[in-house]
Amino acid sequence: MQQPIEHFQLSEMLEQCGSSWNAGQVHGLLCSRLTISGNDGATRWFSQILEETDVNNALRSECEAMLDQLCAITWRQLVERQSEFTLLLPDDQDSTALRAVAMGQWCEGYLHGLVSEKHSEDLNKRLAAEPLADIIKDMLQITRATVGENEEEPEGEENEESAFTELVEYLRVATQLAYEELADFREPNSDSPTNDSDTLH
């Protein structure tokens, strides 16, 4: 079984390779690319994340391997339509404020993937209709959300943690729903997750 990718580990690797993307944005972008375009979307995602990096960077191969693994894990979670799908966010021991920022960045990446993909008229109509229109609206709101100022108060911390957990669960379910809703727009046989990095490079 593949080991899960850690948020800060991937963010650090991306920075060292010269990418302008962070882990949350990368995973959000991947999810929306897979949702709309399947394998083709995964290939464009990989190129986009590394387009600013130096091919001679000694760490690039490690970064590529980590991105390959993230893609394979995420794709399989979405294709198998199970409850195992998770957002790539900081660990629970990190502050709610830090995790909330990362959640907003995840939404930024997801929305960027939606708007930057080539859209047919039918796809535009689907995105403008429920439930996808509501999901997009909610993600836009989340990108502007901030944690309250009463972080030092125990009751405030508890409320913020509860609200954060609810939002993460909403995004997890919404991402799976969007994947199902847009199945008709993916190429036939595109739901074929693979560990073969040649499909991405």
Q: Where are the domains of the chain?
A: 7-199
Whole-angstrom distance, CA of residue 9 vs CA of residue 129:
37
Q: Closest Cα to residue 88, out of 103, 100, 75, 76?
A: 103
Class of domain 7-199: mainly alpha
**Residue 137, pLDDT score:** 97
**102 Cβ contact partners less than 8 Å away, ≥ 6 residues apart:** 7, 22, 23, 24, 89, 90
* 170-188 residue pLDDT tens: 999 999 999 999 999 887 6
For residue 79, give both structure tokens: 């294709």
Closest C-alpha to 99, from 191, 12, 164, 180: 164
pLDDT averaged over every residue in the chain: 87
- For the question of whether the overall pTM of this predicted structure is more than 0.75, the answer is yes
pLDDT-based confidence at residue 15 (cuts at 50, 70, 90): very high
CA distances from 140 to 73, 109, 112, 135, 137 (A): 26, 11, 11, 9, 5
Q: What is the pLDDT of residues 94-150, one digit of tens each?
A: 999 999 999 999 999 999 999 887 778 999 999 999 999 999 999 999 998 754 444
Give the orientation angle of helix 96-116 with respect to helix 132-143, to 10 degrees.
Answer: 130
Residue 83 CB partners (closer than 8 Å, separation 6+):
none
